Structure 1
């Protein structure tokens, strides 16, 4: 089995976890109705909340998290592989994980992934972000073996670190994922370029479900969720704001074909860097 219909669900999550879970239910049902058997939601599906105190007050441990429980239920109800791009999970000691989940068609958890790279930046328009003040970075990449291929995990800012995707590709990943909540400013400049580059340089499909629009907490995200093939061609793309459901059929046999034409994974060599 190498062919599968996949879906990227674009959202505009607010500050209410309950309301966001309701929207996730509706959008995932729409994707499943279109025949998708793998469905991905964006980074911070549960809530986009800049107020740290309000965020901390809303958090629950993994087993009691509303998004976690709803995603498990949706996977079983629709017999799909349900990939929550990420949501905030309480770790205790005032720390949080930016954690993604993958559930199987029986509703059981296959694996989870904690975002590794923290978005600590100051942008030209005055926006300043310090994810590391709230979130614990992950320490391990993940590749999951699914019936239609191997799936590699990442979240948002991770896309700027090609070594993560190369490591997953070398571990056999044929589908790379980048659920995100990219800012509008950085998205306009780099989003499409980075997604297509990660697909091309690894000869892999790439699925990126994004947040899109102006959110209740005041931030603006870029949207433009995409599904990209191993040659860098965009198979499906959403607009810049609002909800959307993208569905495309992919064939992971195309990965071997692309890597055969451009065998850079095999041709890579170790080298030293000398400063002169």
Structure 2
């Protein structure tokens, strides 16, 4: 595919079908394949409506499986996590190939370098069917992250594997997972590596009122002068939680913080908009007050970050833990920050 200055992006808001009630790995895999089959039909129909210039489709957070609800780390890994070269990626790659699109999403993924753990992974598949971006969520309340096994993770993947940016025919793509939109450092690190468009798979409460996450989405786009495509779930079914708890509000925001497209609740392909990379690049190279990237004085903040220790590193590197580990570590962190009179 030749480089494109303009194209259409789609935040495809679909229902998440949880696998929590599946009896075993085989049944869970069958449910995932049904989701992918249904997704293939929805993508084809959406493209027929939107037009041939739609080149990026972003799916919601954990669209294949839902999220763990009381399952142990080992049980969720066995039931709901996919392999890095698994059949699920292969099948999604065939959809991307057939439709000549970049297909982005989020899944729980196993990594042979870290047996017994899994990572919540944002991915981008290119029109040839290959994975060109694999970003592991760095801030999570209840799932392992690279930070929890930091030393070994850096040995395996280096800094480029921690903050990856894919240079593609539709610009420099990066991913931010779910409520990481509330952590400005993640987006800034990606922007400083050249990211022009943030992919944001999420599953969050939507009420029509501007939420902290919605405010953060606009802020991340403005302060990094980048597009943001945020796709929410259209509800989560086959779990114990009310199905519409995380339903609606997918949106596309431009580098000025303008909401180009937004939709309400339910399954929808209505959130699509033109991405104008040429305009973005002109904006980034124009001197003035609004050129926030060029005005960053990062040296001002280095010592504060270097001297500060909040959430501890490597807490899962050399030990087996259960789900209580996450709450316990956070509680200990809060107590330490209180003792230091930070909070």
TM range (shorter): 0.7 to 0.9
Contact 2:139 2:145 in 1 (8 A): no
**Map 1:164-243 → 2, pairs under 5 A:** 164-184=186-206, 189-219=211-241, 220-243=245-268
**Map 1:257-268 → 2, pairs under 5 A:** 257-259=282-284, 260=286, 261=288, 262-268=290-296
Q: Kindly tell me: are residues 222 and 190 of structure 1, through their superposed partners in 2, closer, same or farther at Cα, counting changes over 3 Å?
A: farther
Q: CA deviation at 1:173?
A: 1.3
TM-score, normalising length from structure 1?
A: 0.84
Contact 1:212 1:240 in 2 (8 A): yes
Deviation per CA, 1:79-121, whole angstroms, max 9, x where unpaired?
A: 11111x2111233643212112212211122121111110x2x
SS in 1 for 2:134: strand
Aligned residue among 281, 285, 296 for 1:256: 281
Q: Kindly tell me: are residues 39 and 179 of structure 1, through their superposed partners in 2, closer, same or farther at Cα, counting changes over 3 Å?
A: same
Contact 1:31 1:39 in 2 (8 A): no
Q: CA deviation at 1:224?
A: 0.8
1:81 lines up with 2:102 in the alignment: yes
Task: Give the unaligned 5+ runs of structure 1.
Answer: 121-130
Output the aligned Cα RMSD: 2.6
Task: Give the unaligned 5+ runs of structure 2.
Answer: 19-30, 148-152, 154-161, 308-340
Higher strand share: 1
CA separation in 1, counterparts of 2:59 and 2:270?
10
Which of these two proteins has the greater Rg computed from alpha carbons? 2
Report the count of equivalent residues. Answer: 260
TM-score, normalising length from structure 2?
A: 0.69
**Map 1:31-110 → 2, pairs under 5 A:** 31-33=46-48, 34=50, 35=52, 36-51=54-69, 52=71, 55=76, 56-66=78-88, 68-83=89-104, 85-91=105-111, 93-110=115-132
